[in-house]
Structure 1
Amino acid sequence: MISLAIDGALFNYRVAGVALLDGKVLLHKTPSDKFWSLPGGRASLFEFSKDTLVREMQEETGMDVDVGEMLWVSENFFVYNGIKHHELGFYYKMEIPSLADQNDFIGVEGDGELLFKWHPVAALSTIKIYPEFLTTELAQNPLRVKQFASGFIDLDKA
């Protein structure tokens, strides 16, 4: 996975998917996190970003996905679990062809769990989502292609 430790900080290259269905978006979080994010994960060396999303969704949910067009590129600086992060994120439209329902479910992240939930897009302002631009951008219809950059946010204090 492309996650480099540099001078006590981490650089991450992350890819995430935007699954929208019936006015809801699929988000996930660890049981201890106080915020939600789009599903995805870190790219492997020499792995195309679309392939990263396919692999991560298969590993975390057991589901196959179709990856569409890139929506957003995001550069974020944040603190998570006491460690400064520099993250480069690619965000793609994503469809889940074999989706049976929009019930909440538990996924796998290494030895831990991920909580997956379909949140109504109209109610996203009532929950914490990271990166923060997602609250506004997910409400756009149609979704707009953009690039984002944000300064340091301490997710441990959010």
Structure 2
Amino acid sequence: MISIDIVGLRFQVRAAAIFVHDEHVLLHKIESDTFWALPGGRVEPGEDAQATIIREMKEELNESVECTGLLYTVENFFTYSNKPNHEIGLYFQAQFHPKSPLLEKSRSHIGVEGGERLEFRWFPRESLPDLDLHPAFLRECLSKPSLSFQHIVQRG
């Protein structure tokens, strides 16, 4: 994965999937975390970002997905586990097969990442402004009726 510790911070490249279905957005979190994020993962050397999303969804949920257009490029500066991070994020629209059991919105779906349990859950778009969602710009952007390409610099 493209993640290195350099000059006192962690630098990484992450690809994330934006799944929107019936005015809901799919988010996930590590069970021990208190905040939600978009599903995805760190890009491997030599791997393109869309392939990262396809690989991560297969590894975490054993689910095949399709990635479509790039929606956001994000320069994200944050602290996680007491370590400063500088992340370059590529956020793509994605979709599940129309008969996927993951489209069920009445319950959480459980996945696994490196031995840690992940919870995946659908949230109504109108509820996102009140959710502990990281990076914070997503609360507003994903609540809008239509999504359009943006370059975002997120600090904190």
Structure 1 residues not aligned, in runs of 5+: 154-158
Q: Aligned Cα RMSD in Å? A: 1.0
CA deviations over 1:45-97 (Å, ceiling 9, x no partner) = 00011101100111111110000000000001111001110000000000011
Report deviation, 1:141.
Answer: 2.0
- What's the offset of the Cα at 1:8? 2.9
Match of residue 106 from structure 1? 110
Letter in 2 for 1:111: G
Q: Given the alignment, which residue of 108, 112, 126 partners 1:122? A: 126
Displaced runs of 4+ in structure 1, greater than 6 A? none
Number of positions where the alignment pairs a residue of Structure 1 with one of Structure 2: 152
Q: Percent identity?
A: 37
In the other structure, the counterpart of 2:76 is 76
Residue 99 of structure 1 and its aligned partner are, at CA, apart by: 1.6
Deviation at 1:126, TM superposition (A): 1.9
Matching of residues 52-67 of structure 1 within 5 Å: 52-67=52-67
Q: TM-score, normalised by structure 2?
A: 0.94
Equivalent position of 1:95 in the other structure: 95
Task: Within 5 Å, give how 1:133-144 maps onto structure 2.
Answer: 133-144=137-148
Q: Which residue in 2 is equivalent to 1:156?
A: none
The equivalent residue for 2:45 is 45
Counterpart AA for 2:147: L
